[in-house]
Chains A and B, each alone.
Chain A
Amino acid sequence: MTSDTEPAVSFTGAVKNYGTVRAVDGVDLAVAPGETVALLGRNGAGKSTAISLLLGLIEPDEGSVRLFGAHPERAVRDGRVGAMLQEARAVPRVTVRELVTFVAGRYPTPMPVARALELAGIAELAGRRLDRLSGGQVQRVRFALALAGSPALLVLDEPTSALDVEARQAFWTSMRGYARRGHTVLFSTHHLQEADAYADRILVVDRGRIVADGTGEQLKRSVGGGLVAFDLAGRPSDGLERLPGVRSLEIRGDRARLRTDDPDATVLALAAVGAIRGLEVAPASLDEAFLALTSSVTEAA
C-alpha cells in the first residue's frame, strides 16, 4: 500500500532518448497529492514525452518514474490515473454516453456518467455519435473520459488546443473544481497565461530539462528586472542603452522603453539626467520570465 506522504508523481533522473535526440534529459521532480501543476514549454520541449513516461506508455532509458510510489503501469491498472492524450481523434460509430460509460466502468470508483458529461460541458451531446462532433466537442469528450473514473491523478496533455475562448473558460473552471476536491492535476501547455492562471505551480520545460519550478510570481521574481518607460520629450535616445542595468532599448513614437535587470539603478540614472516625464516602472511579465528562462535562440514562433 502507498501512504499519503508518497508524492503523486516523482521523476528521478529520468532520461528518454529518441535516436540522438534527448527528449527528456535528466528530469527530477516531485508533485505532492492535491497540487495543480503546469508543464510549460514550447512545442518540442519534451512535455509530451515527459507525460508518456509519467503514464507508463514508454519506459525511461535511465532513472525512474513513480506514481503514488508505484510503477506508473501499476497506478494506471489500479484506476488512480485518468488522462487526456494529445493526438487522440474521435472514436467512430459510438455515442458520447456509450463511450464515457464504458471508460467509467473500467475504474473502481467512477463518478456518475451524467456528472462527468456535465463537468466536461457535453451533457447535451450525450446521445450524439463522436464522429459527428466538431473538434472542440471531441476534445471535451476526451476530458470527460479522463474524468470519468474519478482518478486521484488527472493528466492533461495540451487540453485546450482545439477549444474556443468560451469553451476554454468552462474547461478551466471544471478543472479547478476537480482539483479543489483534493485531486492532483498535471497539465501541459504552451500558453503562459493558462499556466499562470490555473496552476499552483509551474514547471518550465526546455530541451528536455526542467529549467524553472515555482509559482508564476516566483518565476517572475526570479528573472528579476522589469520595464522602465518614459517620454523622450524631444530628447535624443542615444546612450540610453548604456544606462545601468539596461538590457535593451525600444523607441515607440516619443516613448522610450528600457528593459532592465535593475529598475532602481536605471530610474536613478534617468532621474539624474532629468528624463522622468511620464515615468513608468513595471515588473517583468511571465512572458519575459519565460523567454529569459528558455533558450530563445531556438525559438520557432
Chain B
Amino acid sequence: MFDYLKLEVRRTLRDVGFVVGGIAMPVLMYLLFTNLGADDGTWKTGAMVGMAGYGAVGCALNTGGGVAEDRAIGWLRQLRVTPMTPRQVVVGRTLTGSVTVVPAIVAVLAAGGLLNGVRLAVWQWAAIAVLLWLGSVPFTLLGLGNGYRLTGQTTGVTNMACNLGLAVLGGLWFPVALFPNWLRTVSACTPTYRFAELGTSVASGHAPTLGAVAVLSAWLLAFGSYAVLSYRRGAGTS
C-alpha cells in the first residue's frame, strides 16, 4: 500500500500540468489578486485561505483525472492481475489525493506569510494547514467519482468545471461579501465556501462553526457515495 502511494505521488508530482496548474497557479493568482488595487490587510488573509483552498481543491480533483488516465491506458487492469486488492488500490488512490494537496496549501500559505506579510500565531498557521488538508477529502472523492465514471477527456473537463464553478461560487476567488444576497445563500451551501470557512474562522481567532462542519460532512457523504457508485460501475471495465 505504501509503495503504491509512493508510486502514485511520484507520478503526480512529475506531471508538469499538475505542478503549474495545481501549485504555481494558485500562488500567482493569490499574489496578483492581493497586490493589485486597493490594499486591505484582511483580504490578504482571506484570499490566502481562499487560494490555498482553491489549490487544494484543484489538486484533490486531479486525483480523479489520474484514475481516468490509468483506466484508459490499462494500468488499473494490470493492477487487477497483481496480488493487490481493489480496496487497496482505491484507498491508495484516495491517500495519494490527500498527499498531493499538501504542496498547494503550503505554497499559498508560504506566499501569504513570506511575501504578503500575513501575520498569524503559530497555532493558527498549523490549524489552517491541517484543516484545509482534512477538508479537501470530499473533493478527492468527487474527483475519484468522476475518474471512475467518465473517460479521460471528459474527466478533465468535468473536474475543471467543478473546480472553477465551486471555487467562484464558494468565494475562493472573490469575497462572498461582494455577492448579491441570493447568491450568498447559495454560496453558504457549497462545500468550497464551508471548506474555506474552516480556515477563515481560525485566521480570525475562533474555532470553525458547527454549520461549516455539518455542511462539509454532508458533502463528504454525498461525494463518498458518488465515488463508491462510480467505482462499482467502472469496476468491470477498468
Contact = CB atoms under 8 A, between A and B. Distances in A.
Interface of A: 55, 57-58, 76-79, 81-83, 85, 87-94, 98-99, 102-103, 105-108, 142, 145, 149, 155
Nearest to B13: A93
A82 B72 CA distance: 21
B3 A102 contact: yes
Contacts of B15: 93
B73 A91 contact: yes
A79 B81 contact: no
A94 B82 CA distance: 18
A98 B78 CA distance: 15
What is the size category of the interface that chain B forms with chain A?
20 to 34
Given A79-B83, A81-B81, 19 more contacts: A55-B81, A57-B77, A57-B80, A57-B81, A76-B82, A85-B78, A85-B81, A87-B74, A89-B72, A89-B73, A91-B11, A91-B70, A92-B73, A93-B11, A93-B14, A99-B7, A107-B82, A149-B82, A149-B83
Chain B: interface secondary structure?
Answer: helix
30 contacts: A55-B80, A57-B77, A76-B80, A76-B81, A77-B85, A81-B81, A82-B81, A87-B74, A88-B73, A88-B74, A88-B75, A91-B11, A91-B70, A91-B73, A92-B11, A93-B11, A94-B14, A98-B10, A99-B7, A102-B3, A102-B4, A102-B7, A103-B82, A106-B3, A106-B83, A108-B83, A142-B78, A145-B78, A149-B82, A155-B81
Nearest to A59: B236
Nearest to A79: B83
B235 to A, nearest CB: 10
A107 B83 contact: yes
Contacts of B81: 55, 57, 76, 81-83, 85, 155
A101 to B, nearest CB: 8
Given A76-B83, A79-B83, A103-B82, A94 B77 contact: no
Nearest to B82: A106
Nearest to B14: A93
B69 to A, nearest CB: 7
Nearest to B18: A93
B74 A89 contact: yes
Residue with the greatest number of chain B CB neighbours at <10 A, chosen from A93, A98, A145: A93
B84 interface: yes
Contact of A90 (B4, B11, B73, B77): B73
A94 B11 contact: yes
B125 to A, nearest CB: 32
Interface in B1-24: 3-4, 7, 10-11, 14-15
Nearest to A102: B7
A89 to B, nearest CB: 4
Interface string B43-84: 000000000000000000000000001101111011011111
B179 to A, nearest CB: 40
A79 B80 CA distance: 11
Nearest to A81: B81
Contacts of B7: 94, 98-99, 102
B11 A105 contact: no
A94 B14 CA distance: 8
A91 B71 CA distance: 11
A289 to B, nearest CB: 32
B120 to A, nearest CB: 36
Contacts of B236: 58
Residue with the greatest number of chain A CB neighbours at <10 A, chosen from B11, B74, B81, B236: B81
A77 B83 contact: yes
A79 B81 CA distance: 9
A76 B81 CA distance: 6
Contact of B78 (A58, A88, A105): A88
Contacts of A149: 82-83
A105 B10 contact: no
Contacts of A78: 83
Nearest to B12: A93
A61 to B, nearest CB: 13
A92 B83 contact: no
Contacts of A87: 74, 77
B83 A91 contact: no
B10 A85 contact: no
A301 B69 CA distance: 33
Interface string B195-238: 00000000000000000000000000000000000000000100
